[in-house]
A = this chain, B = another copy of it.
Amino acid sequence: MVADLVDAAPVRPLLAELGEAIRTLTAGTDARLMGLEPGDLTVTIGVGPRLVRTVDPALPGAKDLPRFSREQIASRARGGDLLIQICADDALVVPVVAAALLERAGDRIQERWRQSGVRGANVPVDRGRAAPRNLFGFVDGIVGPHTRAEQERDLWLSRPAPVADGTLAVLRRMELDLPRFAKLSVAEQEAVFGRHRATGVPLSGGTIASGPDLGAKTPDGRYLVPADAHARRAHATAVGVGLMLRRSYSTDGPAPGLLFMSFQNDIRTFTSTLTSMDNSDALLEYTTTTASATFLVLPGFDERHPLGSRLFR
């Protein structure tokens, strides 16, 4: 869910109270769960650029996302002050927790939009890690900062101190043109992604966990991973950026789509990748972005260090 702070509502107590509610909800001790088991409930809170700028316009997360091509974004679906991401294995828990947090915030925040989504069936990648399929039938989010070293390098913010251990989230909701994509042959679909649909293996070969070999060519000199394939246009090395942790959700209603989420410690990881895609990624033809926002995801908290207290004084 994306919400706005209502004018003049002080940020620090609001975030502290939301954190406290998150603590009792995840512990299963909150009456607003109405007896439902929270299970693996996880709530992630991010603050939008406007709020970050009130602290320091030089901080990570202080800049709005630029506009890109293929956007049809209503003004209420662009940006926003507050990201409330609620994840749980039991889908019933999500709207119940959303209602509980909205109630705790009261008239201090105003909902802009919400989108529920699901993770498709998991396809094993490597070392116990798996990735889900999207509505095009392709495995999604294979490449990313999956080792601890990669996460320290590309995922978590290390400085300055008020944002350390946080990260930057990008949220892009897009509609997918399923009928048009379904009209392509499987080989044509695979050329769009640069991977095999059934297995997730790059068209350059190897296993699903192998990086695509962008230099590999057929005997007659064509790239195995086509020049406009998504796996090439969004490839971190080709773009010249770090790795982004993608964690996207498939959506239904009002239209079939993808709620793309990425987490990275440098917003250019996302913006440079999308700029590279904007120029020639074959996948973009089948997508229309209907919401776009970025948030500074706040680091963890406990009873002695309330949510957001390091950033908002």
A interface with B by C-beta (< 8 Å): 31-37, 90-92, 94-96, 98-100, 102-103, 114-116, 118, 120-121, 133-137, 178-179, 181-182, 186, 189, 197-198, 250-254, 256
Question: In the bound complex, do residue B31 and residue A252 qualify as a contact, i.e. CB atoms below 8 Å apart?
Answer: no
Copies of this protein chain in the complex: 2
Question: In the bound complex, do residue A250 and residue B91 qualify as a contact, i.e. CB atoms below 8 Å apart?
Answer: yes
Residues of B within 8 A of A99 (CB): 178-179, 182, 256
Q: How far is the CA of A121 from the CA of B35 in the complex (A)?
A: 12
Question: In the bound complex, do residue A92 and residue B32 qualify as a contact, i.e. CB atoms below 8 Å apart?
Answer: no
Given A90-B120, A178-B96 in contact, is the A34-B137 Cβ separation under 8 Å? yes
Question: In the bound complex, do residue B256 and residue A96 qualify as a contact, i.e. CB atoms below 8 Å apart?
Answer: yes
Given A96-B178, A178-B95, A179-B99 in contact, is the A253-B115 Cβ separation under 8 Å? yes
Question: In the bound complex, do residue A31 and residue B182 qualify as a contact, i.e. CB atoms below 8 Å apart?
Answer: yes
Residues of B within 8 A of A90 (CB): 120-121
Question: In the bound complex, do residue A114 and residue B254 qualify as a contact, i.e. CB atoms below 8 Å apart?
Answer: yes
5 A-B Cβ contacts within 8 A?
Answer: A37-B121, A99-B178, A103-B179, A114-B252, A115-B253
Residues of B within 8 A of A36 (CB): 120, 133, 137
Question: In the bound complex, do residue A256 and residue B98 qualify as a contact, i.e. CB atoms below 8 Å apart?
Answer: yes
Q: A32-B182, A34-B137, A103-B179 are in contact. List 17 more A-B contacts (CB 8 A).
A: A31-B186, A32-B178, A34-B178, A34-B182, A35-B137, A35-B186, A35-B197, A90-B120, A91-B250, A92-B134, A95-B135, A96-B178, A100-B179, A102-B179, A114-B254, A115-B253, A116-B252
Residues of B within 8 A of A250 (CB): 91-92, 95
Question: In the bound complex, do residue A92 and residue B34 qualify as a contact, i.e. CB atoms below 8 Å apart?
Answer: no
Q: Which of B92, B120, B189 is close to A92, meaning CB atoms less than 8 Å apart?
A: B120
Residues of B within 8 A of A102 (CB): 179
For residue A118, which residue of chain B has the nearest CB? Answer: B91
Residues of B within 8 A of A253 (CB): 114-116, 253
Residues of B within 8 A of A35 (CB): 137, 186, 197-198
Question: In the bound complex, do residue A94 and residue B182 qualify as a contact, i.e. CB atoms below 8 Å apart?
Answer: no
